[in-house]
A and B are shown apart, each in its own frame.
Chain A
C-alpha cells in the first residue's frame, strides 16, 4: 500500500506557521530555524488528526439534526423518542427498547382541584370519589393531602413553583375530569395484590359435583387466606353490581353504595382512633425543658420461643447485635411518623 500523503496545502501551512512561531519564540540565528523547518516539513505518512472522534461527530450530527426537535419543548404534549419495537400505542413509551414501560397520563390541575373539592368541600367519602372517577383510593387521599398543603402555602403567601408546574404538565401526558359527565376511569381501582400464597400450584382433589367457589379456592391456598371478593379495595362495588343484577334501580344501588362506603370509612377512622388511644394508654410522657421522654411498658420476658426475637430490648446471649457492623453505623430511620 502506498503511503498516504497529506495534501500539499495543509502541510505547507503547518510548516509556515511552525516557522513563524519558532522565529518569534526563539529569535535565534537563521540556521537553527531553517533546520527545524526542514524537519517538520518532511513527508508524513499519518493523516492529520480529525478535530472530533467518530462518535463525537455522530453525536453532533444527531443533536443538531434529528435530535434537535427535543431541544426546545413545544407545549402541546409529550415528546418522546421513537420506539424501536412495535408498541401498542406509539408516543407514550419514553424508553425506545422497553415496550413494557408506558408513561401513564397524570391528572391535570383542574382534575386535582375537582377531587379536592369533592372530598373537602362536598364532604364525599374518599371511596365514593375513587369509584366515581376511577382513581385509586390512595391516590385520591394523596391528591387531597397535597392540595391541602398547596392551599396552606397560598394562604401563607409562600411562592409556588407555578412556571415549573405548567412546564411539567405540558410535557407529560395528562388526563382531565369533568365533574358533570361520565368520565372514563383514570386507572383500574379494583386491583388485588398477587399474594405469595396464590403463586403456588397445588394439587387439591375435590369431587366433581362440588360447587367450588373463590372462597374455597382461597381456603385451599391457606386456611387464613381471604377470598378475592374480600381482598379487593372496593368490596362495596361488587355488592352494588349484585344489587343491580337483582333488579335494584341504579339510583337506589348508588345510594346504598354511598351509604356502605361512608360506613366503612367511619369504621376505619374509629379503628385508627382506638389504636392510637390504646397505644397512648401504655405510654407515659414526661416533659423536660428540652425533650419529651416517652416511656413504654415492656415485658422483658417476651423474647420469643428461641429467646432471640429481633424486637426485644437489650443484649441477649447468642443473639447477634449488628450495631457495630459497617452498614449500621449510620442509623437511617426506617419510618417517619
Chain B
C-alpha cells in the first residue's frame, strides 16, 4: 500500500517519481550528516541511512524481498588501455624492486581527488535496478516506479516480445523490454484539461433537412464510417502478427467481427434515413437502394465464423466506390478557378517558395505525428508533463529507443573510477551505512 504522505514536505522522503513535490525535496536536500557527530550509535546511523535509501529505492518492494535480492558483491570494471597493454606486459611494475628503480610511496603527497576512487558503496542498491518495474522507470517510460509496476501488472510491458505481468521479474543482460507506447505517452505527457475530459454530448440522430448539400455530407459520413470499419477489422490481425524478437509462432487470433457488423448496420441505417428525409433525385435514390440491397448479403457473411475481415472490407470499399451521390462537381471547379486567379504565391521567388513548401511539409508532418485527438487520455497534441526535465537521465546499462518505447538491459550496473551507474540521490556515506546494514545477516 502506498504510504500516507508519499511526497511529504515536513519530513521529506525522496522517491522514485517525477512529482514536483519530489523535485522540491530533491532540490532542498542537504547532506544528512550521519555519523559526523557522536550523538548516534553505529546501529542508529545504519538504521537511519537504510531508512532513507529504502524510501527511494523500490519502496514498494517489501523489505524481506529486498533482503533476499541484496548481494554483498559489488560489480565494477577497470578500463584497459590497448595502447598501454600492447607496449607493456606488466613486468615493468615489478621490475627493479630493491635495485634502485623503486619509487618510494609518498603518502603525504597522496592528495588523490575524491572523484578518482571507485565508488563501490554507491552500488549498494544495484540488484534493485534489475527489477523490471524499476528498469521501466529508469528508461523513462513511466513517471514513477509505482506507475511502472502498474504497467507491468496491467500487461503493458513485454520482455523479449512476451507479455511479462510480474514487476518483480529480474532482467538478465540482453533482455529487451518494451512498453505500450500509448501508456508511455500517457505517463510522460501533460495532463488533459479537466474540462475536456467530460464526455461530450452526442449530436442528435435526425438532421434538419433544409440544408442543400446535406446528402453529400451524409454520404461522406457513411464513407468515413466504412473506413472506420475497415480499420477496426484490420487492427485485429495486425496485433496477432509475429513479434520480431520471439521465436514463438503467433497465436492465431480469431477476428472479432462484431464491431464490423455493427458498422455495416449503421451504414445501412444511415442510407435508409437519407432516402426518407432528403429530397434526392430519382437516380440517387435508386443507387442508394441498390447499395442497401447489395450490403445485406455482406452482413450475413460477416456473421459467419469463417468470415475474413479483409475480404469484407474490400467488398464494402468497392460498393462505396460505385455509389456516386455527391453533389455536382461543377461548383467546386468554379471556386477552384477563382482561387487560382488571384493567387498571392505568384509574387514569391522560387527559393522562397521552396522554403515555404519545406516549412509546410514540416508542419504537416508534425500535425500527422502529433495530432489533436480528444479520445486520448492525455493532452493532445502531446507535450511533456511539467517538471520532467530535471529527472531526465538514462543510466548507461540501458540502451533505449524512444520511438518504439523499448529498451535493452545491456548488463548489470557497474562502478568505475569516479562513477557509479546506480542512480541514487544520496551521498557516499549514506549508501555505505545502508550497505553495512544489509551485510548484517550475511
Contact = CB atoms under 8 A, between A and B. Distances in A.
Nearest to A60: B24
A13 interface: no
A153 B401 CA distance: 13
Nearest to B238: A156
Interface string A138-167: 110011011111101100101111111101
A52 B414 CA distance: 45
B78 interface: yes
Interface string B167-210: 01110111110100100110011000000000000000000000
A104 B396 contact: yes
Contacts of B344: none
B26 A161 contact: no
A244 B82 CA distance: 12
A194 B78 contact: yes
Contact of B427 (A56, A62, A80, A97): A97
Contacts of A147: 401
A85 B189 CA distance: 32
A88 B419 CA distance: 11
Interface stretch (B240-248, B291-299, B310-318, B351-359): B240-248
Nearest to B12: A55
Contacts of B399: 138-139, 142-143, 146
A161 B176 contact: no
Contacts of A241: 82-83, 85-87
Contacts of B159: 336
B244 A332 contact: no
A41 interface: no
A150 B175 CA distance: 17
B389 A79 contact: yes
B108 interface: no
B41 interface: no
A149 B322 CA distance: 39
B20 A63 contact: yes
Contacts, number: 267
B211 to A, nearest CB: 36
Contacts of B24: 59, 62-63, 67
Contacts of A58: 9
A95 B415 CA distance: 17
Interface string B404-431: 1111101100101011111111111000
A139 B411 CA distance: 10
A194 B77 contact: yes
A254 B189 CA distance: 47
Contact of A98 (B91, B122, B169, B175): B122
Interface residues of A, number: 95
A192 interface: yes
Nearest to B384: A167
A160 B181 contact: yes
Interface residues of B: mostly helix, strand, loop or mixed? loop
B404 to A, nearest CB: 5
A149 B244 contact: yes
B386 interface: yes
Contacts of B36: none
Contacts of B440: none
Contacts of B164: 333, 336
Contacts of A72: 386
Interface string B201-240: 0000000000000000000000000000000000000100
B403 interface: yes
B97 interface: yes
Contacts of B81: 190
B85 A228 contact: yes
B10 interface: yes
Nearest to A191: B77
A38 interface: no
A313 interface: no
B21 to A, nearest CB: 7
B79 A191 contact: yes
A100 B31 contact: no
A52 B61 CA distance: 33
A305 interface: no
B162 interface: yes
A330 interface: yes
Nearest to A102: B419
Interface string A294-334: 00000000000000000000000000000000010010111
B389 A101 contact: no
A264 interface: no
Contacts of B425: 95-98
A197 interface: no
Contact of A214 (B20, B90, B392): B90
Interface of B: 9-10, 20-21, 23-24, 26-31, 64-65, 68, 73, 75-83, 85-87, 89-91, 94, 97-99, 115, 119, 122, 140, 159-160, 162, 164, 166, 168-170, 172-176, 178, 181, 184-185, 188-189, 238, 241, 244-245, 247, 369-370, 381-384, 386-396, 399-408, 410-411, 414, 416, 418-428
14 contacts: A98-B427, A104-B396, A138-B174, A143-B401, A149-B245, A150-B404, A162-B370, A164-B188, A167-B188, A168-B140, A193-B77, A241-B82, A336-B159, A336-B175
A-B pairs, 4 with minimum CB distance: A241-B86, A165-B402, A214-B90, A142-B408
Given A98-B424, A98-B428, A239-B86, 10 more contacts: A55-B9, A58-B9, A70-B390, A102-B419, A156-B238, A167-B383, A193-B75, A234-B82, A241-B86, A335-B172
